[in-house]
Amino acid sequence: MIRFILRLKIIMAIPNIEKSGINNDVTFGDNVSVVEPVNLYGCTIGDDCFIGPFVEIQKDVIIGDRTRIQSHTFICELVSIGSDCFISHGVMFINDVFKKGGPAGGDRTQWKETIIGNNVSIGTNATILPVKITNNVVIGAGAVVTKDINESGIYAGNPSRKIKKRSKHNDV
Ligand SMILES: CC(C)(COP(=O)(O)OP(=O)(O)OC[C@H]1O[C@@H](n2cnc3c(N)ncnc32)[C@H](O)[C@@H]1OP(=O)(O)O)[C@@H](O)C(=O)NCCC(=O)NCCS
């Protein structure tokens, strides 16, 4: 009997469901393409950008002109990305590093920012902790970037390290 009542309760419970989508507080530049479904709110997207499907971009994020955000990428608050960048599939940004041994919860004072320069390409499935990355950088697939990158070049691995110089003709 108790099992029956428990099962009934589970069936009858109604979750709070919020819809994902493009909030009307998003600022778009000219000629932006977005492939739905996405979850975009409070962010600013520059001219000629591309946003692929299953992307979430949170509030106050700024994306520069001509930057492409490929599918399944997550860009959290306190991230800014420059112009002419390529953020590949499934790139994950982080603003809460669990400084006090666990999630900061609502305490935003513990969150940290990430600033990505111009002409930065980030490979598939990379994870970017709160760091600054200078212009003209390539991050390999699957990299985990844990420290600032102040020198142009190609970086890969976990933790990511510089593996090569970047050829000059790729720089802007
Ligand atoms: C990092 C990257 C740009 C390097 O390319 P590259 O300059 O041609 O480098 P190489 O293939 O010559 O590899 C150089 C060394 O780095 C290693 N390496 C290459 N990519 C790596 C990666 N993602 N993670 C860890 N090590 C990597 C190679 O094994 C090689 O090691 P070795 O010298 O011990 O043999 C490339 O491998 C990469 O990860 N590109 C991301 C592509 C991507 O995500 N595209 C998305 C669109 S589909």
What is the spatial distance between Cα 80 and Cα 59, in angstroms, rounded to a whole number? 11
90 lines ligand 1 (CB under 6 A): no
The phi-psi region of residue 105 (left if phi > 0; otherwise alpha if psi is between -120 and 50; otherwise beta) is: left
Q: 8: Cβ below 6 Å to ligand 1?
A: no
For the chain, the C-alpha Rg in angstroms (whole number) is 19
| Ligand 1 geometric centre to CA of 128 (Å) | 17
> Is 90 among the domain residues?
yes
139: CATH: 2.160.10.10
8, part of any domain: no
3 domain residue, yes or no: no
CA dist 9 and 72 (Å) reads 35
Residue 151 is assigned to a structural domain of this protein? yes
Give the mutation target among 163, 165, 167, 170 for probing the ligand 1 site: most ligand atoms within 8 A of CB.
163
Residue 88: CB within 6 Å of ligand 1?
yes
pLDDT per residue, tens digit, the chain (172 aa), is: 555 555 655 678 999 999 999 999 999 999 999 999 999 999 999 999 999 999 999 999 999 999 999 999 999 999 999 999 999 999 999 999 999 999 998 899 999 999 999 999 999 999 999 999 999 999 999 999 999 999 999 999 999 999 999 876 666 6
Give the integer Cα–Cα distance in Å for 128 and 24: 28
- Output the CA 88–ligand 1 centroid distance in Å: 14
Paired tokens of 170: 């790729």
**Could you give the number of structural domains in the chain?**
1
For residue 13, tell me if it sits in a domain. Answer: no
Q: Whose CA is nearest to atom 16 of ligand 1?
A: 163
* Residue 2 located in a structural domain: no
Ligand 1 geometric centre to CA of 139 (Å): 9
Strand, coil or helix: 47: coil
The DSSP element (H or E) to which 8 belongs, if any, is helix 2-12
Distance, in Å, from the CA atom of 168 to the CA atom of 172, rounded to the nearest integer, reads 9
